[in-house]
């Protein structure tokens, strides 16, 4: 596969090129190593594409996962506690998890355990491979990467998406680069407030 388009949000790409050159090279290598045609294994059951051979998001994810894991990219998880009181949430937001729980309980409120998980993190860079539905990409960009950045776990997030030309040969409902680029740009220059690199890939 190959990178067709790149969008740098809040100097995410510039940060990688200056401070994490090796990791940027690894991401590029992994993308070129994935054989997209080998992932064309899904027989469509959808009315508009019945019987057509489509690219399988599951196979593509599997191909990326094995290559990233072979280069020591690992899953990371951030645990935290939430409650219904907005002021209390604001007060505890920046605290470590054990302090959050303690503070919430002190007020008589009920602490609820929650977490954010990112599939691939290495040396403070997070990578999400997204061949899922539209909502998952929004969650990655506006919640996951931001949570890890605010929690001082990463310095930049990388989101890998299919270009529209590739997405049109996948199941319906899969997000694509051009659409998600529009969604990010529409929010304004500072939103989300985390340095990001969006990559549009094709076969």
CATH number at residue 21: 3.40.91.20
Q: Is the peptide bond before 192 cis (omega within 30 degrees of 0)?
A: yes
Give the bridge partners for 117, in sequence order.
77
The answer to whether residue 78 is domain-embedded is no
Give the domain range for residue 185. 2-73+120-202
pTM over 0.95: no
Number of structural domains found in the chain: 1
Question: What pLDDT does 36 receive?
Answer: 92
Least-confidence region, from 4-18, 21-35, 86-100 = 86-100
Report helix angle 21-33 to 57-70, nearest 10: 140
Q: Within a domain: residue 190?
A: yes
Q: What is the pLDDT of residues 134-192, one digit of tens each?
A: 678 888 888 899 989 988 899 999 999 999 999 999 977 889 999 999 999 999 889 99
- Report if residue 95 sits inside a domain: no
pLDDT for position 171: 78
**Residue 23 counted as domain residue:** yes
Q: Does residue 97 fall inside a structural domain?
A: no
> Does residue 131 fall inside a structural domain?
yes
């Amino acid at each position: 596969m190959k990178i067709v388009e790149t969008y740098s949000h809040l100097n995410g790409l510039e940060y990688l090129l200056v401070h994490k050159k090796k990791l940027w090279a690894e991401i590029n290598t992994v993308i070129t190593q994935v054989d997209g045609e080998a992932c064309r294994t899904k027989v469509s059951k959808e009315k508009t594409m019945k019987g057509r051979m489509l690219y399988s998001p599951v196979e593509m994810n599997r191909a990326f996962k094995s290559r990233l894991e072979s280069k020591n990219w690992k899953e990371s998880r951030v645990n935290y506690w939430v409650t219904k009181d907005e002021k209390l949430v604001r007060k505890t937001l920046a605290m470590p998890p054990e302090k959050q729980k303690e503070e919430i309980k002190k007020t008589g409120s009920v602490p609820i355990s929650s977490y954010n998980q990112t599939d691939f993190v290495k040396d403070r860079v997070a990578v999400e491979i997204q061949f899922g539905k539209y909502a998952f990409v929004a969650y990655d960009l506006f919640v996951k990467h931001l949570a890890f950045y605010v929690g001082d776990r990463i310095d930049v997030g990388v989101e890998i998406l299919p270009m529209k030309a590739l997405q049109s040969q996948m199941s319906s409902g899969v997000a694509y680069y051009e659409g998600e680029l529009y969604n990010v740009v529409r929010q304004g220059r500072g939103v989300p407030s985390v340095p990001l690199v969006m990559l549009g890939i094709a076969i």
